[in-house]
Amino acid sequence: MTALTLYSAWYCPFAQRTWFALEQLGIAYEYAEVDPYVKSPEWLEISRGLGQVPVLEVQGEDTPHRIPDSLRTMDYLNDRSGGRLLHPDPEKRAEQRFWLDQIGREVIPYFYRQLKAPNHSDEGRKAQEAFEQGLTRLIAANPPAPWLSGSDAPGVLDIALAPFAARAALLLPHYKGYTLPTDGPWAEFHNWLGRVVAHPAYAATIPEPKGYEARLIDFYAVYANGGGQSDVTKVA
């Protein structure tokens, strides 16, 4: 079997998607922790000039093939596993890809905008409303019974959403005094989130679990003060 190396950063939710997928599929890999903010020539070569995690390195016979980006790495892992992340039916698979894009358009940017906005600001309120609307649409179209799209194991939508949902549940109450609603259909979302973070494949992506949440809170302080990466607030 072709050897794989995952280049990741412990705090990065995009990289955690790929890590979660590898664990869920039971594919052997080597883990390489990198600091993507250090744009060394070696790292830029590995990341194909992007300087971002995740990168999956596939060791070929001559030179390694490097796959950047969380969505592209999940596509690769789906193909490598015989289609185990996406639905086998082509129409349902296209529908899952639509909702993958929706997570990038209507959920992730507004989570980061809310986190970065000043407390009690119009900017933060608008981001909160958009974030809630994006999640509502996603869950309504993909009821988690028990997993998104009705699958019997975590699939591509669960893997794509979970790292961001977990950070929202941790960081927004801490820094913005905001918690997602719990009434009505939101109970379904919270039940799903509890299942996904307790799943062994997700738990395997949490280094040093006892201190992990505190480390994330410290890392994201710069975001909560309006700094951090700006591209994460852009609609994909």
| Residues 23, 104 within the same domain | no
User: Does any domain span residue 17?
Assistant: yes
Domain count, the chain: 2
The type of residue at 227 is: G
Instruction: Tell me the pLDDT band of 61, cut-offs 50, 70 and 90.
Output: confident
> The pTM is what?
0.96
**Cis-peptide, bond into residue 144, ω within 30° of zero:** no
Question: From CA 212, how far away is CA 42, in angstroms rounded?
Answer: 28
228: CATH: 1.20.1050.10
> Which of the listed residues 12, 46, 80 is the one where a domain comes to its end?
80
| Residues 46, 114 within the same domain | no
User: Domain containing 20: what range?
Assistant: 4-80
Q: Give the residue-averaged pLDDT of 6-13.
A: 98
Q: Is the pLDDT of residue 1 over 60?
A: no
> Which of the listed residues 57, 80, 103 is the one where a domain comes to its end?
80
- What digits encode the pLDDT tens for the residues 145-162? 899 988 889 999 999 999
| Residues 105, 220 within the same domain | yes
- What digits encode the pLDDT tens for the residues 128-147? 999 999 999 999 999 998 99
